[in-house]
A and B are shown apart, each in its own frame.
Chain A
Amino acid sequence: MWEVVTIQVGGFANFIGSHFWNFQDDLLGLAEDSHADPVYRNQSLNMDVLYRAGETQQGASTYTPRLLSIDFQGSLGSLSSRGSLYNSAPSSDPLHISTWTGDVSRQVSEPHKKNLFLQSLYEEELEKSTSSVNGTHKFKDEELVECLQSGVQFWTDFSKVHYHPQSLYEVSGLYVDPEDFNNYGIGKGVFSSGLHGEEITERLRFFVEECDCIQGIQFIVDDSGGFTGVASDFLENIADEYSNTPVLLYTARSPGSYTRPVSRNNSILRSLHDAISFSKFSSYCNLIVPIGLPSISKSKATTTLNINDENLFHCSGVYAAALHSTTLPLRFEPPGPAVESQYVTGALDFNRFVTTLAGQGRQNILATLDVAMPAPPLTGNLDQHSFLESMYSLTPELNEDAEDFQAVESMTVHGALHAGGNRASILEVKDSISSAYESTSTRPLFSHLSAALCPLPIPLPFPSMFRNRVSQSGLLLDKPISWSQSKSSLDVHSIPMAARLRSSNAVLPYIEKRLGNLRKLGIQRGSPGTSLLRSWGLEKEEVEDMGEVLSKMVQALNPRLEESSDSD
C-alpha cells in the first residue's frame, strides 16, 4: 500500500536518481547488517513504498526500485538496458539464431569497460553466489573512491543498484547529437513518434498495476534540454491516465546548461525553452520544485562541501541527498495507536504533502528546496536560530530576501546530532526546531515538521566532497582535525540532514522572468520568437493562454502587482 513510482527523464535527472537509489540501497543493506549502527535497524521506514518485490523466471526473488528511467540510447554505459538480475542463463548459444536460416553479419560497437568500482561489485556478487567465505578483496576501497572521483562518464558508472528490466528505457532513432538535443522543440515530437510513447506508458502501467494503492508519482526531469519536450508529453499522458494520482515534479538543471548563450538566436531559443517548458509542466503536475544552481560551489554549501561544479557526479550528489530527505516522511511507518514512535514523527502521505504546500490559499504550485548538508548540531554553543539560517537554497533564480508572511513549509530533519556528537531524540528535535522557528523574524504561516532518528548513510560511491571539518558521523567541528584533501565516504559514514520545501513568494523572479520572456519574445506583435514557437507546434492563441496562466501565478503571489497592472 501507499506506493510511490519514481520517474527520471534525461541525463542530469538520472545522475541525481543514481545517487538517490544508492542511498536507498545503503539503507537496505545497513538494516540487515548486524554490525551496523542499531539506528539503521529500526528505521521505521517502509521501503516497499519505493521498491517492488518480484521474482525471476528461475524463481529467484528480487527487490528493485519502482522506477522508470528514460535517457538517450547509449547513455547506460556498461549496463545493459535489461539490468542484470533477470538475465536467465543463456539456454542456447546466443550466436545461434533460431528464426533465420540465412546469413548473419555482426556489427560490434566498442564495448564500454567496467570501471574498478563496477568490477568490484561484480566480483562481490560472484563471491556471494559461490558462497566462498571471506574471499580476499582484490580492490582497495581507496582505489574505488579514487577511480570514481574523476572518472565518471555515465550515471551507471557509480550505481550499485540492480534495476528491473522494465526500468531502463533508451530513446533510440533520434538522429541528433546529444549536444544538439537541447531545447523543448526538438524533444517535442519524440514521445509521439514511433512507438516511444506507447512503450513508455506501457512500462509505467506495469509498475502502477502492481501498486495496491499508489500514493503518488515523483518525477525528476532534466530541465535544460530536449527531454522537457518528452517529459511534458509524458506528464500530459499521466495526468490523463492517472488523473487522481498526485505528481511531484523536480525540474533539475545541470550546471553545464548555464553557459552564456553564443548568439542572439541562441539566447531567444533558451529563454523560450525555459518559458514553454515551465508553463507546460505547470499544467500537468501538482507541485514543481526547480533545482540546480548555476554554481553550487558559490553557495553557502561551500562551508561544508567542496564541490566541483563541472562534475555532474559531484553536484548531483547534493541534490539527491536533498530529494531523499524531503520525501522521507512519505515512507514513515504509521505510528501505533497510542504510542508515539521514538524513531520517526510527522509522517505524511503524498497527497497531504503536496496539498500542504501547493493547495492552500494562493495555490502556488512552485516550491523551493532548501537544505543543510550536513545539518548543524541542534544545541550547543551556537545560538539557536542558526539551525534555520544554516540552510541554503538549491532552487535557482530566487529572491532570497523576500519576506512572506504567507509562506508554507514542510521540513524534514533526520539523524540530528547534539553538539557533543550524541544523537538527538525525536522529541528534542521537535522542541529545538519549534523554538528555532519562534525566534526567527520571518516565521512561516504554517510549517510541518517531520523528523527521524536515522541519518543519511554515505554510500561508498558518493563523491569525496566533504570538507575536513565534517566528522565521521557528520558532526560539524569548529576546528578541522587535520589538513587534508576532501573527505570521502571512507571518512564520513553518515551525516545528519535537514531539508525543507517552501512555498513562498521568493519564486516570483523565476516566474516573472519566464512570463516576461514569453511576452517579449513570443506574444508581442512582431516578436522575434513567433516563428520558432510555431515550429514547436504552438499557435499564437496557445502561447497567449500560457502567458495568461503565468501572469495569474504572478498575481496570486504578488497582489500589489495586480492593481498596478490592471491598466494593460
Chain B
Amino acid sequence: MSLRVLNPNAEVLNKSAALHMNINAAKGLHDVLKSNLGPKGTIKMLVGGAGDIKLTKDGNTLLKEMQIQNPTAIMIARTAVAQDDTSGDGTTSTVIFIGELMRQAERYIDEGMHPRVLVDGFEIAKRATLQFLETFKTRVVMGDEPDHEFLKMVARTALRTKLYEALADQLTEIVVNAVLCIRKPEEPIDLFMVEIMHMRHKFDVDTRLVEGLVLDHGSRHPDMKRRAENCYILTCNVSLEYEKSEINAGFFYSNAEQREAMVAAERRQVDERVCAGNENNFVVINQKGIDPPSLDVLARAGIIALRRAKRRNMERLVLACGGEAVNSVDDLTPDCLGWAGLVNEHILGEEKYTFVENVKNPFSCTILIKGPNDHTIAQIKDAVRDGLRSVKNTIEDEALILGAGAFEIAARRHLVNEVKKTVQGRAQLGVEAFADALLVIPKTLAENSGLDTQDAIIALKGEHDNGNIVGLNLQTGEPIDPHMVGIYDNYSVKRQIINSGPVIASQLLLVDEVIRAGRNMRKPS
C-alpha cells in the first residue's frame, strides 16, 4: 500500500480482487466472441456512431473494431491479434480458450487453491498436449505435386466459417489454385504475390482467379487503346515528368522535350529490335509518374502507359509476365520485356481497372473479388485471406489436424488418462483444468449449432474411448469422421493456440496487485 503514499490517485486492487477482475474480463471477451466460432456461428453487425455498418465474422476484425478499454481484455486481444498475424487464423479460438482456462481456474481458486499450483499444472499439460499434437497430426507430403485434395479440404474448412457453403466451395478452388500458382520449389511462399483486388460490380459468385494481374488504375490519355492483344510489357521505375517541379532540377535534362525525345528514341530502338513489323503491342507500366506531354508521345507511338503502379506490382508483374523491372532507360534491352496475351481496361465510374491476362507461366496472380456492395466485398476479402493462409500453412507445415473438435477430445482423453497419472500432487488439478478447458472448442461448436452440448460431448467421448477418432457433425450432433467429410485445421494454428493460451492465462492468474495510476493526474486540476 506504499503506493498510496506515493500517489494518492492511484487505484490499487488487492490480490483476490485483481484476480477476479482478470477472470471476469477474460470471460467477458470469451462471451462476446464465442458465438463467432465455426461454420454455424453468428455474423456480427456493428453499427457505428455515424450509422455506418460493418459486418464481420472474423474474430480479428471484431477485436479491432470493439475499442476495448479494459487492460486485461486488451492483453488477451493483443495476443489473439498476434496469433492472427503469425498464423493467419485462430483469433476466436485463442480468446475462447483463454477465457475457458480462466473459468476452469476460477472454480479451483474459489475452493482455496493457490493459482501457482494451477499454473504449474497448466505448464505440464501444455507440454504434454504439444507432444500429443505431434503424434496426432496427419502428415501431408507436399513434394513437387502437392495433394490437391488435402489443400482443398483445409481451405474449405476455413472458408466455410466465413461464407455460405456454395460460395465457400467456389472460392476453395480459387484459393488453392492461387497459392499453387505462386509457389516456387525450395522457396517460402510469399502470399503478397497474390493480389487481392475488388470491384463493386455484379455479384459475389462472379469472384474469380485471374492468372496475371489486375491493376486498379488505367491509362490517363484519351487516345490510348483500351484493349490490346499480344503485348510486350515494360515494367519500369523511371520518372517521366517535367523535371522543373522536382528538386534536382535541370541536372540531367534541361527541358521536358529533351527527355521525351530520349524516351521516344529508346522506344524506337526497342521497337525495331523486338517486333520488326509484326502486330505486337507495347504496354509501359511505370512506378513513377508520367506527365501529359510524355503520355502524348507514348499514345502517338501506339503504346499503352500506366503510371504510379503499386510498388508491389512491380514485383508481381515481373513474376506474372516475365522480363525484369528497369530503373533507367539506359538499361533497356529486349530481354527486359515481359509478355501478356491480353491487356484490357475496365471502367466503373471514376474507377479504372487494367487486366493483364493470358500470361505464360505466371508466378503471380490476382483474386478478383466482386460484389454488389462494400459489405459483401469485405466479407469475401476476410475469408479469402484466411483461405490463402490456411493453404500456405499446410504446404509449409506438411501436416494437418483433424477438425470438428476431434483433436480437442482426443487431447483431453490423453491428458486425463495418461498424463495426469505421471504428475505428483495438486498440480494434477491444473492438468485436469487444462484438459477440461480444451473441450471449449467442441462445446462452443455444438452450442452455436443449437445442439445439446452435454449430449454431443458425451457421444464424442464415448467414441474416443472406443478408439475412434471422431469430430462433431454440426447438422445432426452425431459423431463423424472428420476425414470423411474433409474437415481439417492447420497444424501451426493449433500449435500456436495451445502455446499462447496458457501463457496468457498464467500471467493473468499470477497477478498480485493491479495498480492503475489515476488517469485524472494527467489533467490540469
Contact = CB atoms under 8 A, between A and B. Distances in A.
A1 B241 CA distance: 11
Interface string B421-441: 000000000000000000000
Given A246-B247, A260-B524, A111 B67 contact: no
Contacts of A191: none
Nearest to A91: B372
Contact of B246 (A78, A98, A351): A351
Interface residues of A, number: 70
B46 A76 contact: no
Interface in A81-118: 81-82, 88, 90-92, 94-95, 97-112
B50 A78 contact: yes
Interface stretch (A131-139, A202-210, A288-296): A202-210
Contact of A105 (B35, B291, B519): B35
A241 B311 CA distance: 8
B308 interface: yes
A194 interface: yes
A59 to B, nearest CB: 7
Interface in A55-69: 55-59, 62
A401 interface: no
A100 B57 contact: yes
Interface in A176-215: 177, 179, 194, 202, 205-206, 208-215
Contact of B50 (A79, A108, A206, A355): A79
A77 B55 CA distance: 20
B77 to A, nearest CB: 6
Contacts of B348: 57
B52 A202 contact: no
A108 B291 contact: no
Nearest to A108: B47
Contacts of B244: 349, 351
Contacts of B375: 94, 97, 99
Nearest to B70: A175
Interface in A347-368: 349-351, 355
A180 to B, nearest CB: 8
Given A98-B204, A100-B379, A244-B246, A92 B46 contact: no
A202 B52 CA distance: 22
B44 A105 contact: yes
B187 to A, nearest CB: 23
A194 B52 contact: no
Given A205-B308, A209-B308, A262-B522, A102 B50 contact: no
Given A59-B349, A97-B43, A104-B42, A212 B292 contact: yes
Interface string B20-51: 00000000000000010001111111111111
Interface of A: 1-2, 54-59, 62, 73-74, 76-82, 88, 90-92, 94-95, 97-112, 172-173, 175, 177, 179, 194, 202, 205-206, 208-216, 241, 244-246, 259-260, 262, 286, 349-351, 355
20 contacts: A62-B350, A73-B67, A74-B49, A82-B52, A92-B372, A97-B55, A99-B162, A100-B163, A105-B35, A105-B44, A107-B45, A107-B47, A108-B47, A110-B49, A177-B69, A206-B216, A215-B245, A244-B239, A244-B248, A259-B524
Interface of B: 35, 39-53, 55, 57, 63-65, 67-69, 74, 77-78, 81, 85, 162-165, 167, 200, 204, 216-217, 220, 239, 241-242, 244-249, 289, 291-292, 307-308, 310-311, 348-351, 371-376, 379-380, 519, 521-524
Given A177-B69, A194-B64, A259-B524, 9 more contacts: A80-B52, A81-B52, A100-B379, A104-B43, A106-B47, A177-B519, A213-B289, A215-B245, A351-B247
